[in-house]
Structure 1
Amino acid sequence: MGSSTHYRRILLKLSGEALMGSADYGIDPTVIGRLADEILEIQKEGVQIGVVIGGGNIFRGAGLQANGMDRVTGDHMGMLATVMNALAMQDALEKRGGEARVMSALPIHDVCEDFIRRRAIRHIEKGRVALFAAGTGNPFFTTDSAAALRAIEIGADLLLKATKVDGIYSADPARHADAKRYDHLTYDQVIERKLAVMDTAAIALCRDQRLPMRIYDMGVADNLKRIIRGEAIGTLVDPG
């Protein structure tokens, strides 16, 4: 851990939609490049990093189900989309001189490694960014749940969820001008108030393991670095 950093190891959750930038679909190379720069910048400060990326910019299982597709099939397609996003992030990191490994919850040996907890921790300790793909490997579980699970498995000090808003609000701030932004909440408050920040399974996992999480706006430059240095950016969710 660097002298100016407050965390030894973090798990960063990026939504697939975050990679689209201003586009309607796919990956914006400018956005993924900026995110790679930010990840490598905090890594240079001594922070060990695992990353979970969603697949909503390509496929979303629940959305496919709504259009008539079998949910399990749709979720498997969504898992494969997260592998594509993780490979793109690996490429962006390596082009900038970083080291990264994609580890999938679904076996795809010709493309990336299987997720093995001890190997993942070894990669992180060796200074590689571990990119965890294919969610939990199970249908009906979101990549939020995968992020909470992987954060706990690797012994992260903090789960960070990068979003397009600057924290958790009492209602959708895009629709409700009077929505209140929270600086701090407990896990139970998030669940009881049905605040749509992560799914309930992910929140419950973090609560049971007392893993703090912070939700922040990834669109603001240096937010990630400022959080790592201890600044209260976004909304903190912890035991209270």
Structure 2
Amino acid sequence: MRILICEDSVLLREGLVRLLEDSGHEVVAALADTAGLVDAVRESTPDLCILDVRLPPTFTDEGIRAALALRVSHPSLPLLVLSQYVEERYASDLIAAQGGPLGYLLKDRVADVTEFVESVERIAAGATVLDPEVVAQLLTRRNRDERMLRLTERERTVLALLAEGKSNNSIAGMLFLSEASVEKHITSIFQKLGFDPEDGNRRVLAALAHIENSGFADPNTTNQGGLS
């Protein structure tokens, strides 16, 4: 797989290059900022792009804005965004955007090389992979949505695992259920939320985008993230 990296930290950037190449992938470009990102994507035609959320010059949202721009210029390009901490607003912007496969992981996940590389490969193959912490905050901050309140505790657990990119078989194993039971839970979840259960990975994006945009967040609750 051909991968483009945009990460300002030299140590993390070089570490990503090393572990991805050691895993048999080709890093076609490794950038320190977004200045030449569009040209690099056009010239190197990567199969997946990895971006940090905070990049020079302001170290605020350059990576997110670059990712959203790539969603417009290269809508089918799989994207993996890395973040130091959970920042709900940035995750929500990406989830709500239309486009190809998406990953949003905390940088701590890179330490587990095997799991990280598996996540990269699943995203490139079309999966949606969201960090469990991101999923937890999105679901918790929107728990006043009446539609979410229709879900049972088990259905919430299944939805969170789906958003992490887990397959039905994996969920069944983790929850000690039959795969048929998992499928019934999924059907029930999307009936209650008003989404088609046959939409593949987009059903996860649609559900989370719906939750985020429903406007039921408590204005007196502060963001537990804080930047990833």
Same-fold status (TM-score > 0.5): no
Q: TM-score if structure 1 supplies the norm length?
A: 0.35
- Counting strand residues as a fraction of each chain, which structure ranks higher? 1
RCO comparison, higher one (Cα < 8 Å, 6+): 1
